[in-house]
Structure 1
Amino acid sequence: MDTIVAGSSTTTQNSPGLRDQRDQSDVDRGKRSKLDSSPDFSRSPTDVSSTTTVTMSMDKSPQKNERGGLSDYDRAIDLLKNNPPEQRLDFHLPYFQYLKLEDCWSKMRLAENIPEDQKYPYLAYDSAAEIATVVTVPRDLHEGPALELGMMFMNGARDYLSSHGADASLVRCVHNAGSTTFKGIYGSYARSKKQADGAIVYTPFGGHTTIMIAIEVGYSQDYTALCRNKDQWIEGRHVKVCVLVRLDESPRFRNPRTLNESIVDVEAEMEKMGRSMAESVIRDHSRGYYGSIEYRDHKWVGDLTEVFIEVWRVNKRQPVRYQPLQNAWSCNRLPKTIGLKVSDFVPDLKAANIPDSSLSFDAILYVDILRRSLQTTAEERYLEFISP
């Protein structure tokens, strides 16, 4: 089902209202640690992928906020240093202060021997909105959909080019750059730095790399923040197409607030969890239901209540939205295309004497990928909870 929506607050035909919600951050301010002797202790009580937008103090020295917690600057440092899973922090920060934060993070990486190729945590900046962002290590439900979508796009474009007689060198020009970090170039975004969740680029032999399609995944993330990411690509890098994927998990995951049992053989316990999950996963798959996964009387992943894909194009004020899942159920008519064309992947398709065409989209495969990501995410969270 494909529906054009105006802006960010319209509704899809034959569906409940699509929510644009602002998620409040509940960031774990303490050092990432294992369970202690308190029965109410929870190592990671944070809402998944929670996002907050706050005003940054100009004084970067350690200080308390109005609620007695850490300042936003120190919260950012704590997240960067300890990298607790599934956290995102957005906060207003003037550019000169962002440079100080970036310098501090660079020195921390050097002091703690953090390799340059380690993707997470990462620090990003939107110079148009003056918003700094810290993103810590995500789960598979965020990483998987972005990676797989990029591979589907790249393979589809390459297969079409090959089947229409394109030279092998042209086919190889289209490739998946994954979650590469790019800097802004144009206008008020010139000082921006952003790591795409996925990106398809065109790189001719010996030529300049062009970002053709940017992919951003919002996992229980503020939709407004997701749209700001889109603006960074379209306005800040003149990317012609940006694909947004919104995933909403409900209820938000929280670790049990009870002591962890002493588990000596972690591998055997994970195998036991896998067997326990199998029956419910198979049952839900047959019904087209993308529901929660429970083990030991706790939900390790919530219902995947909403999934939609939006395709934004340069000079278009409205996206085209496709919604394969609604209220944790698969839609009866899954989309066979999401409106991407071969010309979206190759800057000058006419010069190659290849006709343009819409690319197909295997929505059945994609929602199956989402189901596997749900299961993997549940396993990752449980393993994090029980690991010594």
Structure 2
Amino acid sequence: MDALVAGFVYEVSPIFFSSYDHWDKHRGKRFKSDSSPECTTSTTAVSSTTSVLSTDMSPVKDEKELSDYDRALYLLENNPPEQRLDFHLPYSQYLKLEECWAKIKSARNISEDQKYPYLAYNSFAEYVTVVTIPRDLHEIAAWELGIENINGARKYLASNGTNASVASRIVHAGSTTTVGSFGNYARSKKQADGTIKYKRTGATSEVMIAVEVGYSEHYAALCRDKDMWIDGQHVKVCILVCLDESPRFRNPRTRPENIGVVRERRDAMAQAVAETVERDTSRGYFGQIEYQGHKWVGDLKDAFIEVWRAKKRHPVRYQLIQNSWRSNRLPKTVGLKLRDFIPDEDWEAANVVDDSISFDGDLYVHNLRRAMETTADERYMEYISR
């Protein structure tokens, strides 16, 4: 079971992860509720063959014996890294799942500020989503996209002599949980991977731009997320970042050898990986990261950004990586305008001229390559620490 429940992140930069508590202190604990039969199913092991899990090391149980509800509870209770589960569930059943998760959190004294795992619901499509703790590749893809565009907006405002108060109202909020929406999405609950907000006078703020990041196999689910932000929350823009890691990571089948101290082994791995990444980065290559005969990150075969807007049937796509190589035409903007950062009702009062916002595509893909390196480190560290 250790390979399944090791869902912690360690020694990562606080600029990306300062806002959530990790699960290492809860590892191995189980919770059983007498009040809800669904809660007792969360102690079930999940087969390593299911698409929900990415590990080769797990107790064997036929996945046909497990319902999606069971899998959702397992992921919520154990928080194995890098998992996303989407499945159809009526709202009444979702409320039971949410109640059970609330009991688990209460029994373990898990703070409401802990962002992962998170449970979301799309009341229009009647879809439940469970997302467990991600790695750097996912988090940095969202964070850097938001930061780059906010920096572009602030540089534009500064170059046009705009009052600094306008720039200070445009804030990067990171991941944000939103409850309640418009129309058929009124009973939805969603956490974006990244958001850009506009802070109005007083304490109120409004999400203007939402960012969702995922792997290629989750593209349809990302599009449902996009619809919920645009139609349910009326954001001006939703940006999807789609990554294709191939092959997807799987834990080694063998147990780590009990030799040396963890710090020494990690340092040796980091040095070897850094040399590979440095060489490949200079060539614009996003190949796999291998160490001691195992792939800790697969090729980043493709990566693209899609920018979706309300009332637009098709997005504008910006290709970043193709066939594991950096695109020859990296974007200098992803099509955002200054007006996208400011609510329509506040636009006139802002008294600024609208124009395109710059985006450093070269820096962004460079950060993706570095995130592959730190993701390999995270995966290796978890493996040797078991």
Deviations 1:213-238 (A, max 9, x none): 00011134421111001000000011
The aligned residue for residue 219 of structure 2 is 223
Q: Aligned partner of 2:370: which letter?
A: R
Q: Does 1:371 align with 2:369?
A: yes
Distance in 2 (alpha carbons) for counterparts of 1:31 and 1:276: 27
Q: Aligned partner of 1:385: which letter?
A: Y
- Contact 2:6 / 2:81 at 8 angstroms: preserved in 1? no
- Contact 2:195 / 2:210 at 8 angstroms: preserved in 1? yes
Structure 1's unaligned 5+ residue stretches are: 1-27, 35-42, 52-64
TM-score by length of 2: 0.83
The aligned residue for residue 287 of structure 2 is 291
The aligned residue for residue 349 of structure 1 is 347
- Contact 2:6 / 2:80 at 8 angstroms: preserved in 1? no
Shift of 1:315: 0.5
Q: Does 1:104 align with 2:110?
A: no
Distance in 2 (alpha carbons) for counterparts of 1:155 and 1:172: 11
1:30 to 1:256, Cα distance in 2 relative to 1, 3 A: closer
The aligned residue for residue 123 of structure 2 is 127
Q: Higher helix share goes to which structure?
A: 2
Q: Aligned partner of 1:248: which letter?
A: D
1:343 to 1:123, Cα distance in 2 relative to 1, 3 A: same
The aligned residue for residue 32 of structure 1 is 5
1:66 to 1:296, Cα distance in 2 relative to 1, 3 A: closer
Deviations 1:115-167 (A, max 9, x none): 11111000000111111111110011111110111111122212222332222
Shift of 1:169: 2.2
Distance in 1 (alpha carbons) for counterparts of 2:197 and 2:169: 8
The aligned residue for residue 246 of structure 1 is 242
The aligned residue for residue 109 of structure 2 is 113
Q: Aligned partner of 1:356: which letter?
A: D
The aligned residue for residue 65 of structure 2 is 69
Deviates more, 1:347-356 or 1:112-121: 347-356
Match of 1:329 among 320, 325, 328: 325
Q: Does 1:95 align with 2:91?
A: yes
The aligned residue for residue 320 of structure 1 is 316
1:75 to 1:49, Cα distance in 2 relative to 1, 3 A: closer
User: What does 1:1-388 align with in structure 2 at a 5 Å threshold?
Assistant: 32=5, 68-206=64-202, 208-347=204-343, 348-388=346-386
The aligned residue for residue 43 of structure 2 is none
Deviations 1:288-310 (A, max 9, x none): 10000000000000000010100
1:129 to 1:112, Cα distance in 2 relative to 1, 3 A: same
- Contact 2:149 / 2:358 at 8 angstroms: preserved in 1? no
Shift of 1:44: 10
Structure 2's unaligned 5+ residue stretches are: 8-45, 55-60
Question: Helix, strand or coil for the counterpart of 1:349?
Answer: helix
Q: Aligned partner of 2:208: which letter?
A: M
The aligned residue for residue 11 of structure 2 is none
Deviations 1:102-121 (A, max 9, x none): 11111110100111111100
- Contact 1:263 / 1:386 at 8 angstroms: preserved in 2? no
The aligned residue for residue 33 of structure 2 is none
C-alpha RMSD of the superposition: 2.3
Distance in 1 (alpha carbons) for counterparts of 2:6 and 2:271: 29
Distance in 2 (alpha carbons) for counterparts of 1:259 and 1:178: 36
Distance in 2 (alpha carbons) for counterparts of 1:123 and 1:67: 21
1:223 to 1:136, Cα distance in 2 relative to 1, 3 A: same
Shift of 1:72: 1.7
The aligned residue for residue 10 of structure 1 is none
Distance in 2 (alpha carbons) for counterparts of 1:113 and 1:237: 31
Distance in 1 (alpha carbons) for counterparts of 2:104 and 2:278: 45
1:95 to 1:105, Cα distance in 2 relative to 1, 3 A: same
- Contact 2:176 / 2:191 at 8 angstroms: preserved in 1? yes
Distance in 1 (alpha carbons) for counterparts of 2:237 and 2:53: 26
Q: Aligned partner of 1:352: which letter?
A: A
- Contact 1:50 / 1:89 at 8 angstroms: preserved in 2? no
Deviations 1:183-207 (A, max 9, x none): 2421111111000000101111216
Shift of 1:77: 1.0
Distance in 1 (alpha carbons) for counterparts of 2:250 and 2:136: 17
Distance in 1 (alpha carbons) for counterparts of 2:217 and 2:191: 16
Deviates more, 1:66-75 or 1:342-351: 66-75
Deviations 1:72-125 (A, max 9, x none): 212111111111001111111110111111111111101001111111000000
Question: Helix, strand or coil for the counterpart of 1:138?
Answer: coil
Distance in 2 (alpha carbons) for counterparts of 1:120 and 1:193: 14
Deviates more, 1:204-213 or 1:315-324: 204-213
Distance in 2 (alpha carbons) for counterparts of 1:221 and 1:182: 25
- Contact 2:6 / 2:382 at 8 angstroms: preserved in 1? no
Distance in 2 (alpha carbons) for counterparts of 1:278 and 1:33: 25
The aligned residue for residue 9 of structure 1 is none
Distance in 1 (alpha carbons) for counterparts of 2:49 and 2:62: 20
